[in-house]
Amino acid sequence: MSNGIHIQTQGLSKNFGPVVALKDLNLVVRKGSVFGYLGPNGAGKTTTVRILSGLLKPTAGNATVCGYNVHTERNAIKSVTGLLPESPGLYSKLSAVEFLEFIGALNNLSGESLHRRIDSLLGILGLEGRQNDLLESYSSGMKQKVLVASTVLHEPALVFLDEPTSRLDPAASVLVKEIILAMAKETDTTFFICTHMTDFAEDVCEVIGILNQGILTTLGAPNEIIEQMGGRDLEDAYLKIVGGEIDRETLLSWRQ
Amino acid sequence: MGRVWWAIAKAEFLVRTSKLHRSRKILYPLVIGLALAFGIFLIPTILGYFFSRAGAVFEIMLATSFPGLLRTIMMVLWMFILIVPISNSLENVKIGQWEILFSNNVKTRDLLFGTFVGRIPVYGIIVIALGPIAVSPFVYAYNVSIIGQLLMYLVIFLFAIVTIWLSTVFSTAIHAKIGSSPRGDDIGKALSWALAPLVAIPAMGSMYWMNSIVSLLNLNVSMILPSTWSADILTWIAMYTGSLRPSSILNLELYWFAVSPIVDMVLLGIFSILVLVLGFKSADRLFAYGASPGSQKVARAGPEGFFIRGVRKVFGRSFGTIVVTSFKDFTRKLQNIAKVSYGLFLGILVPLLIGFGPFATIVDDPVFVPVMTSLMIGMMLGIFSGFIFGGVGLLDSRDQLWILKSTPRGVPKFIVARVLSYMIVGIPYALIPAIFSGILLSFPLADILIVCGFVYSIVLGGIFVGVGITSINPSYEDTSSGAFVINQISTIVVMIICLIVSIIPGVLIAIRQGLFGYAMIISSIPTPIIGLVILMIGMIRLNVMEVA
């Protein structure tokens, strides 16, 4: 259905009135790969994810996701993809199990197999003792874990993760990283990850794209990007690409 | 305390007048000017016009009965000034700001006093506008001198200041008690709804059962209320600075007053000093905001009962789960339960008003009473159901909408399930007042069933309209947003139009043919149909809507 390619975009653009959120994006993401999408706040990462997951219509250009067209086959795209949004939109008065049942039902899953999957995921994520507590009592990290579970619950072929580890402690971040790597390797699931965490991206992603002001400025493997920019690591290379290096004198100038 | 309290007062004032935003410097004095014009010129002119038209007998009645009436007016005003700020502040429990203040070495007394001072210019507007209601009738009936009027306004001002202080202390204590958590926020919102009937009961009472309440208050029961002490002080000032004859003063004293003005003044003085001193003394304790176990309690989802399992079976596995989830999400929120209870309270008031209020004299009419009861309950519950089930309850956040949109046909599935779960909640909401009215007003069983059917159909219409309008223009949980206000106004307007369209043919049938059942069946059809159309439009719009 997708010839080994899960995402292919041609001149994909999105404007919100006069604001250009995404400009002329040309990108290919292979099946079973882990793609990292980096960029400063407001660069257009979330907009890209929303277009590719069938939530927003592009202003111009075209894209296929798992072989489905973003203009005409949005429901088909939704059925084969999973999306972890940037901030948690959980139902505070439901328990983790009830919320995951709800997400399962929205994806036409039900019955014993769904419950086994929910129990298993909550166990892996270390939430088994709290699974019947209402989500209002969860910490932000625990909520993020529930969202991660809800994203992979229906075994999507392609998973979009928008800042998956931003609220997680180091141990939970490692856990999520391992889940991503295991699913990519063992089940050929493709991951499209938006993140600010360059060390996370460097560890997990095979290919990285850096977006700045709606334009994809850099694309390649992490070590290639580091080498190309002459940086010490990906963070250094990233700062060289998007700017943001400030000298100490400037940083202390406010005290005068 | 230094000037720290002033900075807090300024911030509080800016927050409370945030709607005026950049035009605050022009609009705030304008609002004050309008309130002054309303209180000093408009109210006395209007009241004076009606009093002069009513004639000499009314003037004598007013002169003799107003001291008692004033106790009720002052009680309502007192409750209003006390409860509205508490209710408003409970809508948004944000004690996280306290952390910022305390980390900047702010003392608890500064915080309490600053918050209080910041509220005075806002809630003072209510006092400026409504105070003359208490003074004007005396000015007219007793011919009170200018000095007397100034003294009366001074008493009202001091009483209002003490009340605003009291409400600040109460709301602070409640905030600290329920804490800053999703559960605390829910409890706060529920409490803000529960406070409303406390104002509504005396207000309704003063409108419909004035005589009985006043006579009740004339017993010693009312003497425990500070509002009565201040009302009596106002009466004393009016009597002795007006142009009443000594014999009239003596009659009034004998009829109304069990204690001397000195006792009233001493009681009010002690009350005011106690409230001020205790408020300051308790500041440290009130602001010890280690949230209470109540708000931090970890609530667990219990096993599903017979009813929930039944709903699941009826609607099938997948869709049944969405309906059940929606039902649980709605009914577990205390604020929703408080809103539904408030609607029930209003619905139950209707037959009480019809049975014992101004309609009581024509209570025997076999068609008028059931028709009027059904229409009033239907209107009350129908419009209110638009608020309860639409408004902020539909979607908590934009992110929830993204989750729904990221699943195939997620939005239509969700909206249909949401509406079905609301229809289940709507059954007791509609039927309890309908059955209560039938039993209270002794309707035949068939009529009770017809009333139930009519009221439920209007409630369904309210649900459809509320959900439809909120889907067209989602306001999420933000009650201060423009979208929320527009939705509320639209819901009222649409529901009123629906109800007029529904009711006119029914009323015509009831008047011309005297057929209650037929009239109600005809009246029950248009509202849900119009509501369904709006719901469909809303669902389609929400499904295709692009949210940045």
CB B331 within 8 A of CB B425: yes
Q: Which residues of A touch B319 (CB under 8 A)?
A: 105
Q: Which residues, 6 or more positions from A141, have their beta carbon under 8 angstroms from its beta carbon?
A: A167, A168, A169, A172
Q: What is the C-alpha to C-alpha distance for residues A7 and A208, in angstroms, rounded to an integer?
A: 14
> Would you call A236 exposed, middle or buried from its count of C-beta atoms within 10 A (0-12, 13-18, 19+)?
middle
Q: Which residues of A touch B396 (CB under 8 A)?
A: 89, 91-92
> Of A89, A98, A101, which is closest to B402 when you measure between CB atoms?
A89
Q: What is the C-alpha to C-alpha distance for residues B324 and A110, in angstroms, rounded to an integer?
A: 13
Q: What is the C-alpha to C-alpha distance for residues B215 and B217, in angstroms, rounded to an integer?
A: 5
SS3 string of chain A? CCCCEEEEEEEEEEEECCEEEEEEEEEEEECCCEEEEECCCCCCHHHHHHHHCCCCCCCEEEEEECCEECCCCHHHHHHHEEEECCCCCCCCCCEHHHHHHHHHHHCCCCHHHHHHHHHHHHHHCCCHHHCCEEHHHCCHHHHHHHHHHHHHCCCCCEEEEECCCCCCCHHHHHHHHHHHHHHHHHHCCEEEEEECCHHHHHHHCCEEEEEECCEEEEEECHHHHHHHHCCCCHHHHHHHHHCCCCCHHHHCHHHC
Identify any residues that bridge with B203 across adjacent strands, giving them in sequence order: none
ipTM: 0.77
CB B31 within 8 A of CB B123: no
Q: What is the C-alpha to C-alpha distance for residues A180 and A151, in angstroms, rounded to an integer?
A: 12
Q: Which residues, 6 or more positions from B207, have their beta carbon under 8 angstroms from its beta carbon?
A: none
Q: Write out pLDDT tens, residues B312-330.
A: 889 888 899 999 999 999 9
Please report the pLDDT score of residue B208 as a whole number: 53
Q: Is B371 helix (H, G, I), strand (E, B) or coil?
A: helix
> Would you call A41 exposed, middle or buried from its count of C-beta atoms within 10 A (0-12, 13-18, 19+)?
exposed
pLDDT at A11 over 70: yes
pLDDT band, very low/low/confident/very high, at B205 (cuts 50, 70, 90): low
pTM across the whole model: 0.75
CATH class for domain A5-255? alpha beta
Please report the pLDDT score of residue B196 as a whole number: 65
Residues A89, B408: C-beta atoms closer than 8 Å: no
pLDDT at B361 over 80: no
CB B73 within 8 A of CB B241: no
Higher pLDDT, B503 or A246: B503
Domain residue limits, chain B: 4-289, 310-544
Please report the pLDDT score of residue B111 as a whole number: 82
Please report, as a single letter, which amino acid is at residue B316.
Answer: G
- Give the angle B149-B152-B154 at the CA atoms, nearest 5°: 110
Q: Which residues of B touch A42 (CB under 8 A)?
A: none
Q: What average pLDDT does range B435-453 have in this prediction?
A: 88
Please report the pLDDT score of residue B411 as a whole number: 92
The answer, for A22 touching chain B at a CB cutoff of 8 Å, is no
Please report the pLDDT score of residue B296 as a whole number: 54
Distances in whole angstroms, Cα of residue A98 to Cα of each of A93, A114, A122, A134, B423: 9, 11, 12, 9, 21
Percent of chain B with pLDDT over 90: 15
Residues B299, A76: C-beta atoms closer than 8 Å: no
Domain residue limits, chain A: 5-255
